[in-house]
A and B are shown apart, each in its own frame.
Chain A
């Protein structure tokens, strides 16, 4: 057969592509469960990193996570718990969630070794080259940040990628999101700049202005909706938060 005839070439290309396509599809299907598990474990590691917990080794990530995270919550903008099924917050796809107008806010409730309760709030935003996301762990006073973790898909190594470094994340520790009882959030600003509304500030990364602004915008977008939820933690005397408390306590293995 003539190797350079049109029919031969077209058939050759078609058969090759079909063959390669089906082989790839098979491999993809075969590896999918293992990959999903890895991705979920990576997310768990990020959440635990916001809580300053590290799993003893990679095979124990899930166990460690389940030991500390005692409950998942979905709350609405008024701070009411809507859902508290297992892993309901963990399974929220933040990429889709942040775009919804009426979104339910995921919260992971954790109990530390010393018995104190922390709340992890996921966030999602845009950096310079792609998405950035992170987790902020709050103390149960509803005001003080206990820890933070940020990740990114493809920020510039050595510049924007430093948001994933411990140095940057540790600057968030002990910051307060309320000033004199009013929600202000935290902002990332160039050293020397002053925030307009009196919010506590974190120094931006040199050479990574857009990524730093992205982190700031993400904090603003994703932390502000929790205002009512955090406020309720600060004033446990009002009847509504008491209802939350009891609801939470029902599922608590104390």
Chain B
């Protein structure tokens, strides 16, 4: 079940081969949905689902897909899964679906998906592809959650919508940093995470 190769497919994307931190993919949505934790986590779960299942489906189809139209086939599969996620969210978590609005649709254009389908699912059997999808989705989600944690804490003084910064801080002149809510600070936060990550993984540093 979990051979060495499969373990690599599942765990490498968490750190050493992280789609956001190392491959710098999926930055657009990482900036957009990380103003608070809840949408970030829902977005992460959505990407994990779509990525894992599109990987499996493409992997099952990989021997039948004509090379010339493989990108179209991949897009159709991803788009279908994204629409399903969107419809399910509207039906069962309307508030979050309103918050995420266009970003769920934008999962289709998330480079991580096309990247994994092309690089992994087209050449591997379904089970490793599934693990690869879960791994990459988790790697993406971890970064999203870290960014959202700092942005929500410093920007709104809340975590999951609950106030965590005590009132006496505000009484002594502490202010929420409105800049953290805006997209530029998300980019800077991602930059800081990449900095820390590279400094701890020397082999990733470019010359």
Residues of chain A whose beta carbon lies under 8 Å from any beta carbon of chain B: 3-4, 8-9, 12-13, 16-17, 20, 23-24, 27-28, 31, 34-35, 38-39, 41-42, 154, 157-158
Contacts and interface: CB of A to CB of B under 8 A. Distances in A.
A4 B68 contact: yes
B169 interface: no
Contacts of B181: 158
B84 A27 contact: yes
Interface of B: 35, 64-69, 72-73, 76-77, 80, 83-84, 87-88, 90-92, 94, 98, 101-102, 181-182
Contact of B77 (A20, A34, A157): A20
B56 to A, nearest CB: 15
8 contacts: A3-B64, A13-B69, A31-B87, A31-B90, A34-B92, A35-B90, A154-B102, A158-B182
Q: Per DSSP, are chain A's interface residues mostly helix, strand or loop, or mixed?
A: helix
Contact of B73 (A3, A13, A28, A157): A13
Tell me whether chain B's interface is mostly helix, strand or loop, or mixed.
helix
Contacts, number: 53
Contacts of A4: 66-68
Contacts of A27: 84, 87
A101 B182 CA distance: 42
Contacts of A31: 87-88, 90-91
B76 A16 contact: yes
Contacts of B88: 31
A207 B37 CA distance: 26
Given A8-B66, A31-B90, A38-B94, 8 more contacts: A4-B66, A12-B64, A16-B73, A20-B80, A34-B91, A34-B92, A35-B91, A41-B94
Nearest to B88: A31
Contacts of B77: 20
A28 B76 contact: no
A128 B116 CA distance: 37
Given A34-B92, A158-B182, A3 B67 contact: yes
Nearest to B84: A27
A24 B83 contact: yes
A67 to B, nearest CB: 22
Of all A-B residue pairs in the complex, the 7 with the closest CB atoms, nearest first, are A38-B94, A34-B91, A31-B91, A20-B80, A9-B66, A35-B90, A35-B91
B65 A12 contact: yes
Contacts of B64: 3, 12
Contacts of A17: 76
Nearest to A31: B91
A16 B182 CA distance: 41
Contacts of B182: 158
A23 B83 CA distance: 11
